Structure 1
Amino acid sequence: MKLSWNHIIMVVYIILSGCTQKGDRKNSIDIQGHRGCRGIMPENSVPAMIKALEIGVTTLEMDVIISKDKKVVVSHEPFLSHEICLTPEGKIISEKEEHLLNLYTMNYDEIRLCDCGTKPHDRFPEQQKIPVYKPLLGEVIDSSENYLRSHSLNPIWYNIEIKSSAETDSIFHPPVVEYAELVLSVIKEKNISGRVIIQSFDLRPLQYIHRKYPDFQLALLIETPVPAEKSISLLGFIPNIYSPDYTFVNKELINYAKKNNMKVIPWTVNEKDEILKLLRLGVNGIITDYPERVLEIILSQSLQTVALKNLPNLRISPS
């Protein structure tokens, strides 16, 4: 029996998809689409989330900020980034002036007028250029759930980052308790609490949610190379997920996490060799701008195991 690599990938994908439908999430790799799939679509937009679902992510990762009129908006920055956005009037934004375009001082109707998808992105040249606006969290959830239902797909998870810091309280966002409650109110309204991870670099929202809503899954984001024990000690409890810069992941961290019943899901991993290295180390998931790359590697590695053990007569020819 001789099949091309592309045919093999398709077959294994179908097999693994069937297994995933009945499988336990605890034992599977969580493919998290960073800001949807920033490598190929405008970040944190509805089209990016839908494209990520088409690719096959298990979790949609996104960031949320708060507008002047207390709307929960999907956006990485609490201002109009010069890198991706235009003003409501369609004008170019300079790096020097971007912080003056503070979304916490703008009502959502004004924010929605800003195009954040047509400007060429120097760091992501493959990104499709289409007009997009910063959507409400509720719209992202509704659009994603509708897509899943209409295509008879399994439920996915949402990894939502609260972008707070003590230095920017009441400047770029409301006080942390109000911020957290606004985000959680949308999640509860949409009835997806059991499929949500709240992540943050800021310890305060995680501590507040852990204390008041202990059933929520929480992820501690890490951007400095400090020992995990120290980070956990400062947090005051063991989070469900430890989510470091991917360069900080090593076998010691994986062993520590396993011992403490904590998942390791690093960010933001885009190169195939790094993805494979981390999977071999034993991470529980990957946050990536290119979810199709993670899926391809998982499928190719699974194929090797299946082919060697169960398909001895199979020979793979070049595509």
Structure 2
Amino acid sequence: MTRSVELHGHRGARGLLPENTLPGFAHALDLGVDAVELDVGLSADGVVVLGHDQVLSPVTLADTAPAHPDDPAFPYVGKAVRDLTLAQLRTLDAGTRRAGDAFAGTQRPVPGTRIPTLAEVCALLAPSGVAPAVELKTDPSWPGPLVARFVAAVTDVLDAAGLTARSRLLAFDWRVLTATPREFGRVALVERKTLVPDSPWLAGLPARDPVASAAAAGATVLSPEHTITTPGLVDDAHDAGLAVAVWTVNDPEDMTRFAKYGADAIVTDYPDVAARVLDENAGGAG
């Protein structure tokens, strides 16, 4: 039985284990994902590290101790990733979600888990055959040269790991896509707030036709938020030669619905649930 829709684990398996961590990615692999979606930033000393937020969030991270005695930057939570070194970032505990958060009730904590580097994630993924889907966390306030430097740092890591052919770079800031070498997949992320007139997110391209603009930006995949995904949008993307990866889909009925729309991939916090639903749909299609 072959699935017609790819299963992508969002931030690894955010609903089950701490996001953007090696334990979370390993569990996603065990659940049979086709790709792992992950978020990266760039440390002050130029290392590509995992993390969803440009400013370290107390929801997913906790300080433990300074990287060196009397470090004036400590505590680190609340500070920007690009203002901290790898040594400082490594001190953070990424294994326990703050109590009361929506995912704290379903996510199993792994206390003591550290922020990994992209190179460490690549070492885990390389023998698996699973695709890295790497979202670069920038925004329109970033100067163009810094965006280009970040893209180069990410692609260098993926290339060194031998993962170029099966990797894809994701971004809401489409300048990332225009800077990404053509050997890599390029995923245009879209949501309501980026699809507005004169949007600063779309690399100067118009928001009125996101499919045409994504293609013009060099995208190979359109990745819309699930709330704006319609059968027409999927069909238009396919007509333009773009695959469609819908995020973030956690409801089983929605998973089935987007599969019927013809989506090429479902991005989910619960790959265990999605694997069951997509496998059932694949079996029924026969």
Q: TM-score range by the shorter chain?
A: 0.7 to 0.9
Distance 1:228 1:291, change over 3 A: farther
Q: CA deviation at 1:294?
A: 1.3
Q: CA deviation at 1:168?
A: 4.2
Asked if 1:135 is matched to 2:116, the reply is yes
CA distance in 2, matches of 1:237, 1:118: 38
Distance 1:98 1:282, change over 3 A: farther
User: Secondary structure, in 3 states, of the residue corresponding to 1:175?
Assistant: helix
Asked if 1:290 is matched to 2:270, the reply is yes
User: Secondary structure, in 3 states, of the residue corresponding to 1:167?
Assistant: coil
CA distance in 2, matches of 1:218, 1:258: 15
Structure 2 stretches lacking a partner, 5+ long: 67-74, 196-206
Contact 1:238/1:262 (8 A) holds in 2: no
Aligned ranges 1:76-225 → 2 under 5 Å:
76-89=52-65, 100-121=78-99, 122-124=101-103, 125-131=105-111, 132-146=113-127, 148=128, 155-169=129-143, 175-209=146-180, 213-224=181-192
Structure 1 stretches lacking a partner, 5+ long: 1-15, 21-27, 91-96, 149-154, 307-319
- Residues 47-76 of structure 1 show CA distances to partners (whole Å, capped at 9, x for unaligned) of 000000000000010011000110000111
Name the structure with the higher helix share.
1
CA distance in 2, matches of 1:99, 1:78: 11
Distance 1:282 1:257, change over 3 A: same
CA distance in 1, matches of 2:210, 2:29: 36
- Residues 11-34 of structure 1 show CA distances to partners (whole Å, capped at 9, x for unaligned) of xxxxx2xx57xxxxxxx4111000
Contact 1:207/1:235 (8 A) holds in 2: no
Q: CA deviation at 1:301?
A: 2.1
Aligned ranges 1:246-261 → 2 under 5 Å:
246-261=226-241
- Residues 102-124 of structure 1 show CA distances to partners (whole Å, capped at 9, x for unaligned) of 12111101101100212445211
Instruction: In structure 2, give the amino acid aligned to 1:214.
Output: R
Instruction: In structure 2, give the amino acid aligned to 1:144.
Output: L
Rg (Cα) greater in structure: 1
Q: CA deviation at 1:191?
A: 0.9
Report sequence identity in percent: 26
Partner of 1:303: 283
CA distance in 2, matches of 1:231, 1:176: 23
- Deviates most, 112-121 or 158-167: 112-121
Partner of 1:29: 5
- Residues 241-260 of structure 1 show CA distances to partners (whole Å, capped at 9, x for unaligned) of 10010111111111111211
Q: CA deviation at 1:203?
A: 1.2
Q: CA deviation at 1:145?
A: 2.8
| Number of residue pairs matched by the alignment | 263
* TM-score normalised by the chain length of structure 2: 0.85
Give the one of 45, 48, 53 matched to 1:69.
Answer: 45
Partner of 1:6: none
User: Secondary structure, in 3 states, of the residue corresponding to 2:255?
Assistant: helix
Partner of 1:269: 249
